[in-house]
Amino acid sequence: MKRLALPLAALTLAAPAQADITVGFAIAQSGWMEAYDTPAATAAQIRIDEINAAGGLLGEQIRVITADTRTDRAEAARAGLELVDDGAQMLVVSCDYDFGAPAALVAEGEGMNSFFLCAEDIKAGVQGVGPNSFSSSVLAAVQGATMAEWSYARRDARTAYVLEDTFIEYNKGICTGFDWMFPRLDGAQIVGRDTFVNDDASIASQITRIRALPEEPDVIMLCSVMPGAAAAVRQIRAAGINSLILNGSAVDGSYWLGATPGLSGFVVPVQGSIYGDDPRPEVEAFNAAYEGRTGSRPASQYAYPGYVLIDLWARAVEAAGTVDGAAVTAQLEAMTDAPTTFGPRSFSDALHHQNTALMQIIEITDGTPARVDEWRISEPVPMSVLIAQ
């Protein structure tokens, strides 16, 4: 088949009849990462379909080609190369930095733009992959800082305990943001901290330490992801500790709540609410469109960055008049509080991420999640904090 395709490809090159714009998706279609990549990729496809229906990009239709990374770093690099060979002009890569970077580096080598589906690590951009790589999601440190300032202002949190899961960089990022913001607030104090590992069979020792505190802390900043986060919450509540538990966006979704029946006092910041109670009608319109396409509503907020990334990239392409990486990057870096369905987004030549964002606050009460508030941190997380993490 490949041999047959070669002369055909030569033919199409000679005749520029096929003038589509091609976006390549180097994402996990198998392996454990698939559960995280598919929702965001579906959301990206929804935005692409909207753009195509409205006349396309630069007057041309956007064509999507996909290669499976199989949740494997080596396969991710191969998938990136395959898509570039097949004519991709921009690469959308796996959600996580570690699994997306190999393909993003291929794009960078070709002078093309790459977007991570939902990476929240500063390395997924100028600092790691290179000058043409972006993520539309919100940095982990911003999520931690948002939890610190919101719980201080709205729940009178004055004492905090930090429990960090050392499994991945994302967890460290949440804790870094919390550690930066919370002690800055007048009268607020971090009274203790501890670490655990995501797949620890038990965190009994860590709980013993919390219980040994003279007073139960107002909040516990849990910097963790599934499945360790659900396990930690279950064990903390089972031990009779009733502090408000805060976490990052990564644990959004109700699929894990069965692990702690009747859970209350658990709060996460998200980019938009999947629970049908977001005050912005366009968010609910997206949820409905997503349900129309897949048969079910998004399982967590991580579908949203996929929609936003295509939205922002397409706008920058229209402004630049080309899909050339450097030209589009210049347009993206000029964006300051560009409105999107899920809140304003900004990029600069120093940062291809969000160091501040309007976040919706989701609180779980009696096992039911609901949006209770929204919050934007009073100042962006400084670069020194982001780099130091």
Partner 1 sequence: MSLQLVFDALSLGGIYAIAALGIALIFGVMKLVNFAHGQFIAFAVFALIVPSANAVATLGIGALPAPLLITLVLAIGAGLAVLAERLVFRPLRDASPVSLMVASFALGVMLQNLLLVTYGGRPKAVSLWAGLGAPVPVLTAQVPLLQLIVIGAVAAILAGLALMLKRTRIGLEMRAAAEDFGMARLLGVKANVVISGAFALSGALAAVVALVLVAQTGVADVRMGGQIMLVAFIATVVGGMGSLPGAVAAGLLIGAASALLQAFLPPEARPFRDAFLYGLVILVLLARPQGLFAPAGAKPRV
Q: Which amino acid is at 339?
A: P
**Contact present, 267 and 363 (Cβ < 8 Å):** yes
Residue 222 makes contact with partner 1 by CB under 8 A? no
Residue 231 makes contact with partner 1 by CB under 8 A? yes
**Contact present, 177 and 142 (Cβ < 8 Å):** yes
Looking at the Cβ atoms of 93 and 357, the one nearer to partner 1 is 93
Give dist(CA 134, CA 114) in Å, integer: 6
Residue 29 makes contact with partner 1 by CB under 8 A? no
Residue 164 makes contact with partner 1 by CB under 8 A? yes
Q: How far apart are the first and last CA of the chain?
A: 48
Looking at the Cβ atoms of 165 and 311, the one nearer to partner 1 is 165
Nearest by Cα to 345 from 384, 318, 388, 316? 316
Stretch that binds partner 1, among 138-146, 177-185, 222-230, 303-311 (CB under 8 A): 222-230
- Those residues whose C-beta lies under 8 Å from the C-beta of residue 360, and which sit 6 or more positions away, are 269, 270, 271, 272, 273, 278, 371, 373, 374
Q: Any idea how long the chain is?
A: 389
Among 18, 189, 208, 336, binds partner 1 (CB under 8 A): 208
Residue 74 makes contact with partner 1 by CB under 8 A? no
Residue 258 makes contact with partner 1 by CB under 8 A? yes
Q: Which amino acid is at 243?
A: S
Give dist(CA 294, CA 17) in Å, integer: 33
Residue 189 makes contact with partner 1 by CB under 8 A? no
Strands 244-246 and 266-270: parallel
Residue 65 makes contact with partner 1 by CB under 8 A? no
CA distances from 195 to 123, 161, 164, 221, 355 (A): 23, 11, 5, 11, 25
Among 158, 193, 280, 376, binds partner 1 (CB under 8 A): 193
Q: How far is the CB of 298 from partner 1 (least distance, A)?
A: 10
Among 1, 7, 17, 32, binds partner 1 (CB under 8 A): 32
- Those residues whose C-beta lies under 8 Å from the C-beta of residue 17, and which sit 6 or more positions away, are none
Neighbours of 366 (CB within 10 A): 8
Among 73, 184, 234, 376, binds partner 1 (CB under 8 A): 234
What is the x/- site pattern for partner 1, positions 259-278, by CB under 8 A?
A: xxx-----------------
Q: Of all helices (H) and strands (E), which one includes residue 386?
A: helix 383-388
Residue 293 makes contact with partner 1 by CB under 8 A? no
Residue 239 makes contact with partner 1 by CB under 8 A? yes
Residue 204 makes contact with partner 1 by CB under 8 A? yes
Q: How far is the CB of 167 from partner 1 (least distance, A)?
A: 11
Structure tokens at 95: 């959600």
Residue 197 makes contact with partner 1 by CB under 8 A? yes
Residues that bind partner 1 (CB under 8 A): 30-36, 71, 164, 166, 193-197, 199-202, 204-206, 208-209, 211-212, 226-227, 230-231, 234-235, 237-240, 253-261, 296, 299
